[in-house]
Every structure is written in structure tokens, then in C-alpha cells.
Amino acid sequence: MRNVLITGANRGLGLAFTRHYLNQGEHVWACYRQDAGQLTTLDEANLTLLKWDVSQDTPQDTLGKLPDAIDLLINNAGIYGPTKSNGQSLDSIQAQDMLHVFEVNCVGPLRVVQTLKNRVIKAKGIIANISSKMGSTADNSSGGCYAYRASKAALVIVSRSMAVDLEPHGVRVITLHPGWVKTDMTGHTGEINAEESVAGMTQVLAQVDSYIPGDFVAWDQQRVPY
């Protein structure tokens, strides 16, 4: 049985990741910011719920509930920020919105890894940072979405640095693009559902040794250009 920790686990991709690894017989630490949501409906002996806002310092009572070793850390928690039409255009984007989205989507995963690094090293585990193809400069042909794009692009770079720094300790780091998924963030529009996305991403994680450290890989196992 492996120890798996997932941030932003109360809905969407995080909830689908939680269900997937519980079905695999793993012990899952599922983190949520305020409302545990559907996590409370999962009556699983191998499930531990943790209230953890990744944009804040980790509460001491949360640290006390963590395992000594973490085999898989999935940094999934994230926000979109203002809508594309009303708040993320060139004319409307505000500095405070940029900073808030960056704090959650990029600094948050960094803070989590700083907190859990030694536990992942102990397990010689895997860190998966959930970014988005919208953070790829090569893929940006439509503009806009300043806060979201910038935060996800920054996460790709941070993830790559983590991969370089942690590789000597036996930790593998990979960045994942979940695809265009039907979740609350996308207004339930998209090409695939959360279960399909997670099925693909977990296949990538199962083959993580076939990728270079810090690779940016989509749910369909295709590398994403930076």
C-alpha cells in the first residue's frame, strides 16, 4: 500500500484522483481548503481528510496527521481567477488578481513541496504538479487569460527546477496537463470528463521513469511544448 497525498481533492480532478487511488487500495490523504464536499461521502478506511489551504502556511494539526513517508504527491489545487471576458483581458486584468492566482497556482505547490519534501525523499517518491497547456507559450494562439496562463507557465518552470533539485534524492517530478476537462472550473464544458483525464494521467505516472525529469506531459501521454 502506497501513501498518496492530493491537494484540492474535494471536487473535480482531485476527487477523481482520490477515488482512483482508493480503488487501487492505496492510503490517500485528501486535502481541501474549506469545504470537504463529496469527500465526506467516501466511507473508506484508507482515506484521511486534511483541511489545508495551499496559499497559507501549513497548520500544525495538519502536519501531525501526515505519514512519515509519501510515495506520491499530487499538487492539484488551483484556481482560474476572474473570467476571461470580465477580468483576464489585457484591459481588465488587475495586479491583485494576478498575484492571487499566482499565489495559489504556483507558490502553493512550491510551499507544499517545501513542507513535504523530506517525506517524499524518504519514500523516493513521485511529485506530480498539475499545470495546463494554457501555460505553454508555444500553444498560446488566442491571448488573454493573463493570470491563469502566467501562473501555469510559472508552475512548469518551478516544477522543472524541483525535478533537477530532487533527482539526486531519488524523487521523480513531472508536470501534467489534464486536458480540457468538464469540471466546475470550465463550467462543465470540455472534451473529456474528470475520470477520463485521471485515467490518462495516472497512466503517465505509472510510466514516470520513461520521461525526463520535469517533463510536461498531457493526459494522453503526449509531451507538451513549453
Query: 128: which 3 cell numbers?
Result: 506530480
Residue 92 falls inside a structural domain: yes
Residue type, 8: G
Residue 226 is assigned to a structural domain of this protein: no
The owner of cell 499545470 is 131
CATH no. for residue 61?
3.40.50.720
Q: Give percent of the chain with pLDDT exceeding 90.
A: 82
Query: Is 60 exceeded by the pLDDT of residue 188?
Result: no
Tell me the pTM. 0.94
Please enumerate in sequence order all residues whose Cβ is within 8 A of that of 179, keeping only pairs 6 or more positions apart, or say none: 190, 191, 192, 196, 197, 200, 218, 219, 220
Instruction: Determine the length of the chain.
Output: 226
The CA-CA-CA angle for residues 194, 76, 175, to 5°, reads 95
Does 224 fall in a domain?
Answer: no
Is the distance from CB of 23 to CB of 40 less than 8 angstroms?
Answer: no
Question: Does residue 114 fall inside a structural domain?
Answer: yes
Domain assignment of residue 11, yes or no: yes
Residue 85 has pLDDT above 90, yes or no: no
Domain that holds residue 179: 3-218
- Give a yes or no: residue 225 inside a domain: no
Q: How many domains does the chain have?
A: 1
> Is 77 within the bounds of a domain?
yes
Predicted pLDDT of residue 184: 58
Three state DSSP letters for 128-193: EEECCHHHCCCCCCCCCCHHHHHHHHHHHHHHHHHHHHHHHHCCEEEEEECCCECCCCCCCCCCEC
CB atoms within 10 A of CB 209: 7
Question: Does pLDDT of 101 surpass 90?
Answer: yes
pLDDT tens, position by position, 44-54: 899 999 999 99
Average per-residue pLDDT for the chain: 93
Tell me whether residue 57 is in a domain: yes
